[in-house]
Amino acid sequence: MHENIIAYQGRPGAYSHLACRQVFATMTAQACSSFADAMDLVEKGRAKLAMIPLDNSTAGRVEEIYRQMPKTRLHIIGEHFEPVNHCLLGLKGSRIEQLKSVGSHPQALAQCADHLRALRLEPVPMFDTAGAAMALQESQDLSGGAIASALAAELYGLDILQTDMQDINGNTTRFLILSKTSNMPAFEPDKRYITSLIFRVRNIPAALYKCMGGFATNNVNLLKLESYMAGGTLKDCSFHLDVAAHPAQHSMQLALQELDFFALDIRNLGTYEQHPFRTDHELIE
């Protein structure tokens, strides 16, 4: 196993790359062309961890990850919240007044639409943010710019002409840290935990309601419930559930017993400590 490699999807300078640097500064971040490739590196032992985005506060969930997780045997060992700070990048020595167009991922362009309109810059959709920065460097076009991270500016030798280009501050991405081996922490009463589960419901009336009932009656807080179609058919609906509890807690054990009675194919993806971002931004209360 390559103990010092963490895999991510995207080009160097992508926000996933930035998240790797923030959390695992001493590890080597390896770019992959797809989420599946990044996970596969970990499953095959060619990387120790993978940094995978699950949700964005503006763009919503990353649908592909919910479909990919049941296909792997990886474990969630942690979460990370990364604030998205879109920067307007230009070639060395360029000025905003010279720019006519700006390239980036369509989602990034949409998040900066008001600022771009105020600067009278034409948005040019591209495959990703870091790719736009790389393309700008290769083009040497002084009239072109890119919306990307400060890390992309550093890697591709570009100037940051303006920071905080996003129209709404607080744009944040939640990442999952995946490992081939489980690393469930021992329960400590003064710490907060998340347990992530996936399951299918039995084909009976009010099955989902009954699955959730055990968490309600045992005072276990649900943080997230997502449904997605699995198995390649429109008949098989699966669920991803995040709860604020540790399996060692008696209330959680009772809730899981009730879930087991009404659900099928229950799998614990991982139990891990809650990121401080949740407490700081009151995501629980």
From first to last of its 285 residues, the chain has per-residue pLDDT tens of 567 999 999 999 999 999 999 999 999 999 999 999 999 999 999 999 999 999 988 778 888 898 899 899 999 999 999 999 999 999 999 999 999 999 998 989 999 999 999 999 999 999 889 999 999 999 999 999 999 999 999 999 999 999 999 998 888 999 999 999 998 999 999 999 999 999 998 777 888 999 999 999 999 999 999 988 766 665 668 899 999 999 999 999 999 999 999 899 999 999 999 999 998 766 444
| Euclidean distance between CA atoms 33 and 208, whole angstroms | 36
- Residue 143 DSSP code: T
pLDDT for the residue numbered 205: 86
Q: What domains sit in the chain, N to C, each tagged with a CATH number?
A: 5-83+171-179 (3.40.190.10), 87-162 (3.40.190.10), 193-270 (3.30.70.260)
pLDDT given at position 113: 93
Scored b (16 or more CB within 10 A) or e, 141-175 reads beebbbbbbbbbbebbebeebbeebbbeeebebbb
Question: Residue 38 has what pLDDT?
Answer: 97
Q: Where are the alpha helices (DSSP H) in the chain?
A: 15-23, 35-43, 63-68, 106-111, 113-118, 129-139, 150-156, 207-217, 250-262, 276-280
Active site residues: 173, 175
* Whole-number Å distance between alpha carbons of 107 and 63: 15
pLDDT of residue 282: 60
Angstrom distance (rounded) from CA 179 to CA 181: 5
C-alpha span between 257 and 265 (Å, rounded): 13
The pLDDT value recorded for residue 284 is 44
pLDDT of residue 5: 98
- Using CA of residue 116, residue 120, residue 124, residue 129, what is the dihedral sign? negative
Cβ atoms 210, 104 nearer than 8 A = no
Supply the pLDDT for residue 285. Answer: 42
Copy the structure tokens of residue 34.
Answer: 């797809």
Cα–Cα dist 193/112, whole Å: 35
Are the C-beta atoms of residues 173 and 55 closer than 8 Å to each other? yes
Contacts 24+ apart (CB under 8 A), 215-220: 215/243, 215/255, 215/259, 217/255, 217/258, 218/251, 218/252, 218/254, 218/255, 218/258, 219/251, 220/244, 220/245, 220/251, 220/252, 220/255
